[in-house]
Amino acid sequence: MDMKNAKNAHFWQIDHKVKQFLGAEGVIVLPSFEAWQRFKWVRYLFKNRPKEGYFVWVKKQVNFPLSTCITIASPKISQNLTNLLVIEKGLNIRANVLCNAAKNNLYGSHMAKGKLILKEGASLEYNHIHQWGEKDFVSPHYEFILRRGSKLVYTYKNLLPPENLELKTVIYSGEKSSSNIKFLINGIKSNIKIEDVLFLKKKGAQGIVKLRLVGRKKSDIDAVSKIVAESAVKGHLDCQGLLVDENSKISLTPKLICQNKNAQLTHEASIGRIAEEQLTYLRMRGLNEKEATDLIVSGFLKI
């Protein structure tokens, strides 16, 4: 295919098989193991030779979103992905990422280690969507590196969670960079552990982290969210939990660590329940209790 005429750039994997990958003018898309063989500098960033996963290198501005799709479609598949996304200086890029199970009760395992690098002045809107089966195990660990003046808007949304989710996210913020991080998770019969750390390392860096966590149907959610100020920076942490039933549990631990007297860090944290007045109001308008609860949860998870 003529890459000059390509209207998108994407990577698609089912189970362990790469179904398709497509680059575009100024965008290189490869399976991770091929990038390891082709580029010596990639080996330093991967550290170890990857078995599966994707590599995306954006060298020129494009006017369409990048997309990746990683799916488990067969029973008891165990994915172990190594992903790398590099955005060159001054580019403004959007990426849509979907990881999912094609069916329920596949007992699949999805483990991913991702590194995303925004070079000087680059901007990235990264929409990360997860949809899993009730018996899956999912463990994504992502690392964002923001160079001087770069901007990151990252949204992780999981409305159909696995039985076990271990989510770890680390952001390293350079001088005058900014980050807006959101985690939206609807816990349903799930054991969920979340650990996110925003390192505001250089002068003028700014960051906001927001968590919206819902506990339903015997879910156990444990979230530790941390901002570390190492210079004259600004950061805000907003953690909110909504406990839908008495058989679920949510633990929120916000941490602010300040290592510079000129830094400004703030936080707010709360865990609440659905007010009876809200349910009554919606029932009076024809919704049953389940429909009313779903509508309230949906609104809570939109920020």
Model pTM score: 0.92
**What is the chain's pLDDT, residue by residue, as a tens digit (303 residues)?**
333 444 688 999 999 999 999 999 999 999 999 999 999 999 999 989 999 999 999 999 999 999 999 999 999 999 999 999 999 999 999 999 999 999 999 999 999 999 999 999 999 999 999 999 999 999 999 999 999 999 999 999 998 999 999 999 999 999 999 999 999 999 999 999 999 999 999 999 999 999 999 999 999 999 999 999 999 999 999 999 999 988 899 999 999 999 999 999 999 999 888 778 877 877 777 888 787 877 888 888 887
Mean pLDDT for the chain overall: 93
pLDDT of residue 3: 34
DSSP structure string for the chain: --GGG---EEEEEETTEEEEEE-BTTEEEEEHHHHHHH-HHHHHHH-S--SB-EEEEE-S--SS-EEEEEEE-STT-EEEEEEEEEE-TT-EEEEEEEEEESSSS---EEEEEEEEEE-TT-EEEEEEEEE--TT-EEEEEEEEEE-TT-EEEEEEEEEE--SEEEEEEEEEE-TT-EEEEEEEEEEES-EEEEEEEEEE-STT-EEEEEEEEEEESS-EEEEEEEEEE-SS-EEEEEEEEEE-STT-EEEEEEEEEE-STT-EEEEEEEEEE--HHHHHHHHTTT--HHHHHHHHHHHHT--
Give domain limits for the chain.
Answer: 3-300
pLDDT of residue 290: 80
Distances, alpha carbon 143 to alpha carbons 84, 122, 172, 251, in Å: 10, 16, 8, 24
As a dihedral over the C-alpha atoms of residue 240, residue 244, residue 249, residue 252, rounded to 10 degrees, the angle is 0
pLDDT of residue 69: 97
Q: Do residues 226 and 257 make contact, with C-beta atoms less than 8 angstroms apart?
A: yes
Based on the number of CB atoms within 10 Å of its own CB, is 260 exposed (0-12), middle (13-18) or buried (19 or more)?
middle
